[in-house]
Amino acid sequence: MSATVQLVAPLAGYVLALSEVPDPVFAQGLAGDGLAIDPTGEVLFAPCDGEVALLPAGRHALALRVAGAEVLMHVGIDTVQLADRGFELLVADGDRVVAGQPLLNLSLDVIARGARSAVTPIVLSPNTAVSITRRVTGRVVAPGDFLMELKVAAAGAASDASVDGGPVRRRQFVVAFDHGLHARPAALIVAALRTLSAAVTLEAHGRRANARSTVALMSLGVRAGELVEAVASGADAAAALAALQTLMPVAPAPHAVSMQPPPVARPQTPIVPLSGPQTLPGVIAARGFAVGVAVVLAAMDREVPERGAGVPAERAALQRALDGVRGALEQRRADASGAQREILEAHLALIADPELLERAQRALLEGYGAAFGYRQATRALAAQLDALEDPRFRERAADLRDLERQVLALLAGEDPQAGPALPQSAIVIAQEILPSQLLSLDATRLAGLVMASGGPTSHVAILAAARGLPAMVAMGEAVLSIGPGTSLVLDADAGQLLVNPPAEEVVAARTRLNARLARETQDMAHAHEPALTREGVRISVLCNLGGPHEVAAALAAGAEGCGLLRTEFLFLDRREPPGEEEQTAVYGAVLAALSGRPLTIRTLDAGGDKPIPYLPLPHEDNPALGLRGLRTSLWRADLFQVQLRAILRAAQQGPCRILLPMVTERADLTQAREALATARRALGPGPLPPVGIMVETPSSALLAEELAGAVDFLSIGTNDLSQYTLAMDRLHPALAGRLDALHPAVLRLIRMTAVAAHRSAREVAVCGALASDPLAVPVLLGLGVRELSCVPAVIARIKALVRGVTVADCEALANAALKLDAAQAVRALARDWQAQRGLFAEVA
């Protein structure tokens, strides 16, 4: 038999779906199922009869135990940082209360001024024996109104985990979360264990908590920097501890200070050179080709004294080191531009981060040395970033490690800007290469970068691409066994590293490299000339941009304007959405830098593989098929209006077009145009910029005839078009080699779109990765594409290719490609076609 329990509203206010909470942990259901109230009242009442469970994390959150469930009420978002200001408890831990009894007084004024939001999630701590059968949302409630109904399974009907008597394992961890185990990190721990069958508890302060209960974990009262011991039993015990290790660093050995987060893992075994020729695969961070010799960077970890010479002396030493690093960063910034300047500015902001400085100063007050304390602070924060799902945020942890390296070098009396001596054509290998390390290397002798870890969107990857330096990342520990001086061929176009290649392969690689360098010199000499085919057809070659800082390099490469401004990349690291004034200024800066050349602004393309912190989306089993692109903007009409008004204001400064992503049918376009009209009315009379759509789903390609007549231009996004046509996740590592936009099925949809555009006298462009693939360009021209928006590095090459072909020949090539049945066959055909014409295609 099962029972039901009714919960009534504990607060006056407006009831929201959990997905609307401005915090991803609650919005994605990681803290448990439930709903939220945007409060108008200042008293929190008991939603049912139960037992009070006060939480050491602070008065802003408390729980009720009822019928085997724990109902967590978390007043506001990020209210833990208020340190109990604005809250008055009216009950004690363990009190029995009845529905409607006052539990907490709260000040909405204090919360509004000091926290991110007053929205109050009311959730069930994850428990398979209790579920929600009914709930209300989207309405105003008063205290005592019906809120939701719980179904409680009969005793023994369900359990959190099944344990099969397997081994018991223990491991100590350092709690590196800000403010300790409050709601957000507790929910992350619960979510990490959800699919595992092990029984897991966390122990601290002589207390024990079920690691599958958010409330129980919060009840431990563990603060940042303290230790917890995890005890796991069952077949999944090892996997459970490994899951926890993704969120919290393993504690150091017992003889070390208990607060210290562990050093970043570095290989300590002697390097044994790989024997014989080998080919190692990797992830491309910056395309290119290099032939050279291996230079292995030593691991960064250094021994530092644990105890200091007294707080005043250690404070002074740390301040001198911070000032020295800051001065060096400012000096480099004065001479930098583009991506390098932006990264240096990010490091300057990070070195002044108040949370980082507060952690370091706290360590000094406890008697630790300056180097030890600063390392402890940076690694605790880096551990939090490493625990996040979004790889872009995980890669920011490298910036913290970079600052640590520089500060500790100065504290040791060394110059952090001094790099090792390099031989000619050095291919540098390391576990991880940090931005300051790259900037310290002799650019005249550096040929390429190879990293065992790291990611393709890290700051060092951006710097490498800006320098035209081939780089590969995430290659694994095998590359660390390459001995210094080993002959290497780094093919960062094909994503592979050749180790100890035979002499004849080295000769062939050098011949290829020399031909490539000669060709690049020749291409750049004509980069600013128009791209005209041999019979005089003009092909527009524009650039894809991520912000104003990229414009100068793109124009120097020969870009004739911007065919795609990715607005989601402008404000990625934000927790609050950008306002109208800020967006207007950024779009205006891009227009000014383009000096009268056209700018195509794509509206926010969030969702799927592009999560944005200030825009938490509902949990979706398949995000690629959920709220994406224009769907997200229409869902958040408030943010969409702000962006549209900013674009309209900026468009007064120069030629500008609006590009709508992920349009799948005419109704999408109709709603978007209505939103644009609303934005226009809000600003007053004025012209509307041309409006185009992204064709990136089979449905939009199949409906291109109908859609083309309703827009001013079409732009084909081949990355997503390939993903949806071939039913392959473009982020899936096992499918990366098979997901190819030159697949005949994708090419047929491109042809269909181009034909529809021409019939309606509309321009058709390709702005996806295929436009930057020199091997694909003649095929695209043959399919009817007349505008290409590329990454700046290949613009000169693309223009040179266009000048070497005729449209008639390209059409014959495209027709032949459409008759094939695989992408590999199309690539082989295109490669032979270009080789016969001496076009020296590079395989992208």
| HEC secondary structure over 391-426 | HHHHHCHHHHHHHHHHHHHHHCCCCCCCCCCCCCCE
- Calpha distance 720→209 (Å, rounded): 44
CB crowding 629-659: b at 16 or more within 10 Å, else e: bbbbbebbeebbbbbbbbbbbbbebbebbbb
CB crowding 124-158: b at 16 or more within 10 Å, else e: bbbbebbbbeebeeeeebebeeebbebebbeeeee
- The answer to whether residue 540 scores a pLDDT higher than 90 is yes
pLDDT band at 57 (very low <50, low <70, confident <90, very high): low
The rounded mean pLDDT for the chain is: 83
- Mean pLDDT of the 396-421 span: 80
Q: Which two tokens stand for residue 557?
A: 């490469």
pLDDT of residue 283: 81
pLDDT digits (tens, 9 = 90+) for 25-48: 777 777 788 999 989 889 999 999
Q: What domains does the chain contain, in order, with CATH numbers?
A: 3-152 (2.70.70.10), 168-245 (3.30.1340.10), 278-297+420-507 (3.50.30.10), 311-411 (1.10.274.10), 532-618+630-836 (3.20.20.60)
pLDDT of residue 572: 61
Dihedral sign of CA atoms 324, 330, 333, 335 in order: negative
pLDDT band at 732 (very low <50, low <70, confident <90, very high): low
Non-local (6+) Cβ contacts of 30 within 8 A are: 24, 187, 188, 190, 191
- Calpha distance 571→801 (Å, rounded): 35
- The answer to whether residue 602 scores a pLDDT higher than 90 is yes
pLDDT of residue 338: 63
- Calpha distance 103→80 (Å, rounded): 18
pLDDT of residue 128: 54
Bridge-based pairing state of the strands 446-451 and 471-473: parallel
Find the range with the poorest average confidence among 2-6, 754-758, 785-789, 830-834: 2-6
pLDDT of residue 144: 92
pLDDT of residue 333: 79
- Mean pLDDT of the 86-107 span: 90
pLDDT band at 290 (very low <50, low <70, confident <90, very high): very high
Give the orientation angle of helix 823-836 with respect to helix 807-818, to 10 degrees. Answer: 150
Q: Strands (DSSP E) along 457-529, which ranges?
A: 471-473, 487-491, 496-499
Using the structure block, give the residue that is written with the tokens 């919005």. Answer: 27
Find the range with the poorest average confidence among 427-436, 584-593, 652-661, 717-726: 427-436
pLDDT of residue 156: 44
Most confident of 216-220, 628-632, 768-772: 768-772
Q: List % helix, strand, coil for the chain (3-state, nearest 5).
A: 40, 20, 40
Most confident of 17-21, 534-538, 633-637: 534-538
pLDDT digits (tens, 9 = 90+) for 187-240: 778 877 877 888 889 988 777 888 887 777 777 778 777 888 899 888 888 888
pLDDT band at 569 (very low <50, low <70, confident <90, very high): confident
Element (H, E) at 460: helix 459-467
Contact 419, 441 (CB under 8 A): yes
Contact 178, 222 (CB under 8 A): no
Q: How many CB atoms lie within 10 A of CB 704?
A: 26
Q: How many CB atoms lie within 10 A of CB 298?
A: 9
Q: Which two tokens stand for residue 59?
A: 């008065």
Higher pLDDT, 150 or 457: 150
Contact 394, 345 (CB under 8 A): no
- The answer to whether residue 691 scores a pLDDT higher than 80 is yes
pLDDT band at 273 (very low <50, low <70, confident <90, very high): low
Most confident of 137-151, 590-604, 630-644: 590-604
pLDDT of residue 622: 63
- Residues marked active site are found at 459, 767
